[in-house]
Amino acid sequence: MPRTTLTRPALAGPTARHAVAAAVGVVALLGTAGCAADAAADGAGGTLAASDPLPSTVPDGTTLVVGDPTTEVALELAGDEIEHDLSFDLEWANLSGGPQTIEAFRAESLDVGAVAEIPPIHATWTGVPVSIVATQYRENWQDAPVYELAGRPGLTLGSLDDLAGKRIAFSPGQAQGALVLKALGAAGLTQDDVELVELPSTGDVYSTALAAGEVDVAPLGGTQLFRYLTKYEADGAQSVRHGLRDDAGHLYAPKAVLEDPAKAAALHEYVEVWAKAKVWVAEHPEEWKQGYYVEHEGLTDEDAQYLIDHAAVPDIPADLTEGIARTQDTIDLLSTELGEDPLDAADLFDQRFVAAQTAGVEAQRAAEEGR
């Protein structure tokens, strides 16, 4: 088994402490700029072109620095129920999401990170060349969207048409911002028909702004949505489902990492394990609820159960055609609305890794059926 370096205590501590730990983790990573890029052995030699097949062997001494907290915990909880005998050293970085991963990519201190749809696009537009190496969606995307559009207390939201004339929280470089633009388009509205209030979509910023009446509408998801509606529903707070795809999730990596044969070979192994972990989580909701949401994240049983009740049924595709087309639609929308350069979505996806994620899904499903 490889050496695994943890950058935070495993399976312990409430969410508030994790937020602090995440900030510390980023500082530590940035302080060691270049270490992730230099850590792998160069036994495979040379530079790997995007058209080259992925190496089948990982050289001794290779290290992969990974920002993917949910997979980290899934492997800890599952133990031998997920086969993950990796042939490289896996070092966990305590960060995920667009802003943190892009900053770490710039510092060459992270090899791969877990994000939603927008960060790979935003990274490319801001001068950080990246590729998507693993992709998942939700089979139940209509019944369990990642976000709903919540209104301030007392605001009636019956449909997307009710967005007209409203002040809407907006984060242009993140999934929530793209969702707002998609929702406006679906309602036949433009930015001129609303007031976009630029706010960071981190923590409880959006729900706090709604409660204070600083914005009329904001995209909320997970426990932020559940807690907000629980607290303010008596005051007339409500939400509306948008009926749009907001379910893309990716692993992405700097192109420089993929040009390193040792790193690319290690990443191929990791993608297969990542897919196994997604299947395991979906098949073990009670273990995930208790081990991750309650013990690891410090959530109440009520909050945790809400997340389980609205959890994704993972769709990890063996063919990326439809996903690439949806990503192209998102790029075209953002390019027009935000004044960014056009991009070809197909160039963002490194399809050499599709076989690995497919193999991981099939292997874990077979393992679950055999238990």
pLDDT, tens only, 109-121 = 999 999 999 999 9
CB atoms within 10 A of CB 302: 11
* 8 A C-beta contact, residue 247 and residue 312: yes
Upper half-sphere CA count for residue 232 (Cβ side, 13 Å): 23
Q: CA 124, CA 23: separation in Å to the nearest integer?
A: 24
pLDDT at 18: 38
Q: Which CATH class is domain 4-138+247-369?
A: alpha beta
Answer whether 169's CB lies under 8 Å from 199's CB. yes
What CA–CA distances, in Å, run from 150 to 214, 244, 262?
Answer: 13, 15, 46
Does residue 68 sit in helix, strand or coil? coil
Q: Are 248 and 333 in contact (CB under 8 A)?
A: no
For 188-209, what is each residue's pLDDT tens digit?
A: 999 999 999 999 988 899 999 9
pLDDT in tens, 295-331: 999 999 999 999 999 999 999 999 999 999 999 999 9
What torsion do the CA atoms of 155, 145, 13, 72 make, to the nearest 10 degrees?
-160
Give the per-residue pLDDT at 45.
Answer: 62
What is the residue-averaged pLDDT of the chain?
A: 90
- Looking at the chain, the whole-number percentage of residues with pLDDT higher than 70 is 88
Query: CB of 64 within 8 A of CB of 71?
Result: no
- Residue 44: Cβ within 10 Å count: 18
Residue 164 corresponds to which tokens in the numbers above?
């007209």
Q: Cα separation of 97 and 142, whole Å?
A: 23
For 229-269, how does the pLDDT look when each residue is reduced to its tens digit (9 = 90+)?
999 999 999 999 999 999 999 999 999 999 999 999 999 99
Mapped onto helix, strand or coil, the DSSP state of residue 145 is: coil
C-alpha separations of 2 from 53, 140, 244, 329, 359 in Å = 24, 35, 41, 40, 21
- Cα dihedral 262, 267, 270, 272, rounded to 10, equals -120
Residue with tokens 């939700």: 138
- Three-state DSSP class for residue 99: helix
Q: Cα–Cα distance between 8 and 18 in angstroms, integer?
A: 8
pLDDT for 157 beyond 80: yes
**Residue pLDDT, tens place only, 15-57:** 333 333 343 344 344 444 344 444 433 444 689 999 999 999 9
| Strand pairing class (112-116; 63-67) | parallel
Residue 371: per-residue pLDDT: 81
pLDDT of 8 higher than 50: no
Q: Which helix (H) or strand (E) holds 320?
A: none
Start-end of CATH 3.40.190.10 domains in the chain: 4-138+247-369, 148-240
Tally Cβ neighbours within 10 Å of residue 154.
Answer: 12
Q: Which CATH superfamily is domain 148-240 in?
A: Periplasmic binding protein-like II (3.40.190.10)
In the numeric block, which tokens belong to residue 281? 């989580």
Check pLDDT > 50 for residue 2: no
Report the pLDDT value the prediction gives residue 173, as an integer from 0 to 100.
81
Q: Is the dihedral of CA 255, 103, 76, 296 positive or negative?
A: negative
For the chain, the helix, strand and coil percentages under 3-state DSSP, each to the nearest 5 = 50, 15, 35
Give SS3 for 123: helix
What secondary structure letter does DSSP report for 316? -
CB 65 within 8 A of CB 111: yes
The confidence score (pLDDT) of residue 231 equals 97
